[in-house]
Each structure stands twice: as structure tokens, then as C-alpha cells.
Chains A and B, each alone.
Chain A
């Protein structure tokens, strides 16, 4: 297994006096797909947003690419190679698909930008078809694809994705997860996604269980106990 690229220690975060995360330890290996699973309100979004910097953590360490980043701005974390695809408001609504992608490759060198956008179109052909369409006129599923496309175009080493399958039709969900796996295979990037949909088991190398702000388990897929798998199927069925 590759080395640890992202390490979170003792992370506490929340809104006011209600702590959404209570001293969480979390890590991800390079090139891994880690699924953060748990019911609504478990703190999954807060965990991802704290790592990305869009939410401030009150306590804890976040180490990424050899740096302590918990006090860093969102922009600086992104420049280091960490990016979040938020659950909502994850596109530039009034621009065309094409322009959404053009804006997102901004941190890459000029000669790489073309190929990054080409890759997004290859992964999501429908985005190519609709490249001149204004983003907020796309369907929900297409907007979700665009959001992931923006993530790919942004070319960060670690992609955090907040509940990518939420609200998608079941048939689309399987395909969507396959696509995420393909992206990992093609680009060797690390993907950390939060999910309530059990199909995340299809692609995750490891699952991190979160409930009421505390860690329940942190296991490679093949090491998950029967108890936990049963709970997952029963408790988290999206």
C-alpha cells in the first residue's frame, strides 16, 4: 500500500457549542478510495469541509503532503493539492459547461489544460454534448457530473467528494461509482467520499464509519466485520 498522504488527528469541529465532530482521527493513503459512511447528521460533511478548509476546525491537526494545514486558507490548501466537491452549490450556475471547466483548470500549466478538459469530456460524454449549455439548466444528474468534472479539471491530488450519489436515480448511482473508480485508475488520485449509499462498497478500498461525530470503525473493505456489514446494509440503505 502506498504511503499516507492525508492525516487528521484529534479533529474537533462544529457549529457553536454543538460539536459535529469530536476528536476524530482519520487518514487516507495515496491512490486509495476511502468511503466515509454514516447516517444523516453523523458529521460526514463537516469532516470533509474541515479538511478542505471551508469550515474552521476548533481543534486538531491536519497534515497533507508533509505540511500542517489546519490553519491554512482554502486557496492555499487547494494550491497544495487538496480539493473539495461540495454537496450543493458545486457548479458555476450562470456559465456554460465549457466555461465552468475552463475556469477550473486555472492552477494547471497551459499545455496541460486542454488535455484535462478533454479527459472530462471523455469521462462524461454528455458534458461534451452540452458544453455550450448554461450550467444551471442541466438536469440534476448532469450538474452532478459537471461538479465532478470541475473536480477533475481542477487536478488536485486528493479529491474530497461530499455525497456524490445523493438524489441520483439508482441506475445512475452504480455507473457513477464505476466512473469514480475509473478516474482513480486513470489518474492515480486519492478520493475520499462521504456516502450514505451502500454501493460505495463497490469501489471503496476502505470504509470509515462515522456516527454522531465519533468514529465507529476504520477498516479495509475485506476486513469489515460481519456485524458492520450487516449494519451498513440495514442502517445505511440509501
Chain B
């Protein structure tokens, strides 16, 4: 049972880690808390579902690209200008939640069935400690880790990545040395939303996607990111895995209804002890 719980925890943590990474990337680079990325990601999930009969690869690509563009445009047109004029967290909360509602409304209007499931091919099983697990379920976690590693490598070794780091560490100086910080912000936002979309696609494949899924993924993703140290992508991953374990084990031990209670109690306790999150962060909320 322990192993089973552990594996389930890995799976849930893995899926959760994608919107969490999305939040962390956006907040880490722009300093803007974006509460809409869950809904935007789910919107992308629905777009993928719409095209899935044509070609799975194409459908996924379209969903991700749509989310990237949405994230890019919202940042460029709405969030960056307001941030330049000195928006504060409360304003961004209200703004991004409103954007979330806009997309939820669009989902309602555009897609006839509010409860969908994505049929993605299963890739066979893997053997973990004597238990067979569907390889597919682990992929979300693998994807998150690979993304994280790629981001860190880019930050260390590529010009673009160094510009991201510089922008997040000192925005004014970044502009003064000639970094196109507006572009950096827009790309970060696009990537964050694209990651949320991948998370939604996995979620929709293993479970299902409903109108409320966007808020579930988005808010939970946000809170888990804060616990990890918002803006800290390693912290986000670790936090997501821990939360996945918590959800899994509390589900087994106490029963599903108590999952949320335990989860959020732990969030409160962690934040009292470490307000900047487990791994801390260059910024705290």
C-alpha cells in the first residue's frame, strides 16, 4: 500500500507540477501573480480535444501554441503596461482572476460539452518496485523535470536565458544594459500558460476536464507554488511532489473527503514557519 500511495503521489505531484512550474516561471521573471493560467491551460486542453480526431500530435501542438499566444498577448497588452505603471499584487489578483472568468465564459460559449476526456495513446507499462504502472502516468513528472532542467540550462548557458535571469534580478538595470525586458516578460507568460496547458492535457487524459478544472489547477497550482517558494522553480517541483504525496496518502489513510483539509492545513503550517516558502525565493508574495 505504501508503494501504491507513493506512486499515486508521484503521478498527482507530477501533473500538479506543470501549472506550478507555469506560475513559478511567470512570477519568477515578471513578479506578477497570474491566477488565470489554470483556466487558460484548460482552455487549451479543450482546444486540443476539439482537434484530437484529426491528429493527436497536431491537436496537442495547437493547444499548446494557442495557450502560448494567449499568455504572450495578455502579458504584452495588459499586464506589462500595468506593471510599468506600478500595479500591486491585489490589482493583479483581480485582473488575472477576471481574465480567468473571461476564458471560462468563452469555454462555456464555444464548447458544447462541459465535461470532456482526452483520448491519448497509452505507451505501455513500467515496473516500479514490483508494481506495474502505466508509463503514461509518469510522463507528466518526467516532462516537468525535463522542462525545469532545460530552463536552468538555458539560464546558465544561453544569451536568452541569461537575459531572463537578469530581468528577474534587476529589471531597471536589465533595461539599462539593453535587454528587451518587455519581450522577456511576454515570452515568460507564454511559456507559463503553455506549461499549464500541458498539465491540463495530462489531467484531461487521466481524469477529465470540466469548466471548474481551470480554477482547481490554477489556484492549487498557485498555492503549491507559494509553498515551494514562489518564483523558485525547484521549490515548485519539490512542493508539487510533496503535495502529491500528501493528497495520495491522506486519500488512502483518511479518505478522499479529507484530502483538501489536510492539504491546506499543511499549506498554512508551512507558510507560518517559512513565509517565503520551502526553498525561499527572490521574491515573496
* B-binding residues in A (CB < 8 A): 52, 54, 73-75, 78-79, 83-86, 89-95, 99, 102-104, 106-107, 150, 153-154
Contacts and interface: CB of A to CB of B under 8 A. Distances in A.
A92 B165 contact: yes
Contacts of A102: 162
22 contacts: A74-B176, A75-B180, A75-B181, A75-B182, A78-B175, A78-B176, A83-B177, A86-B173, A89-B170, A92-B169, A92-B170, A99-B162, A103-B163, A103-B165, A103-B177, A104-B177, A106-B159, A107-B178, A150-B173, A150-B177, A154-B176, A154-B178
B119 interface: no
A106 B173 contact: no
Nearest to B156: A99
B179 interface: yes
A103 B175 contact: no
A237 B65 CA distance: 61
B278 interface: no
Given A103-B163, A106-B179, 14 more contacts: A75-B178, A75-B182, A78-B176, A79-B178, A83-B176, A83-B177, A91-B170, A92-B165, A92-B173, A95-B169, A99-B162, A103-B165, A103-B177, A106-B163
A85 B170 CA distance: 13
Contacts of A90: 173
Interface in B174-217: 174-182
A160 to B, nearest CB: 10
A162 to B, nearest CB: 11
Nearest to A100: B166
B166 A103 contact: yes
Contacts of B174: 92, 103
B282 interface: yes
B162 A154 contact: no
B163 to A, nearest CB: 7
Instruction: Give the secondary structure class of A's interface.
Output: mixed
Nearest to A105: B177
Contacts of B181: 75
B51 to A, nearest CB: 38
Interface residues of B, number: 19
B166 A95 contact: yes
Contacts of B165: 92, 94-95, 99, 103
A32 B173 CA distance: 24
Contacts of B179: 75, 103, 106
Contacts, number: 71
A78 B178 contact: yes
B108 interface: no
A54 B181 CA distance: 14
B26 to A, nearest CB: 19
Nearest to A160: B176
A94 B174 CA distance: 13
Contacts of A75: 175, 178-182
The 3 A-B pairs at the shortest CB distance, nearest first, are namely: A107-B178, A74-B175, A104-B177
Given A89-B170, A93-B170, A84 B176 contact: yes
A24 B233 CA distance: 47
A89 B172 contact: yes
Contact of B173 (A91, A94, A107): A91
A161 B166 CA distance: 20
Contacts of A92: 165-166, 169-170, 173-174
A150 B176 CA distance: 10
Interface string B96-120: 0000000000000000000000000
Given A75-B180, A89-B170, A103-B166, A94 B282 contact: yes
B177 A78 contact: yes
Contacts of A107: 177-178
Most B C-beta atoms less than 10 A away, residue of A73, A85, A90, A92: A92
Contacts of A106: 159, 163, 177-179
A153 B178 CA distance: 11
Interface in B43-95: none
A106 B122 CA distance: 45
A212 B178 CA distance: 32
B270 to A, nearest CB: 24
Nearest to A79: B178
A75 to B, nearest CB: 5
Contacts of B182: 75
Contacts of B177: 78, 83, 103-104, 106-107, 150, 153-154
A93 B282 CA distance: 10
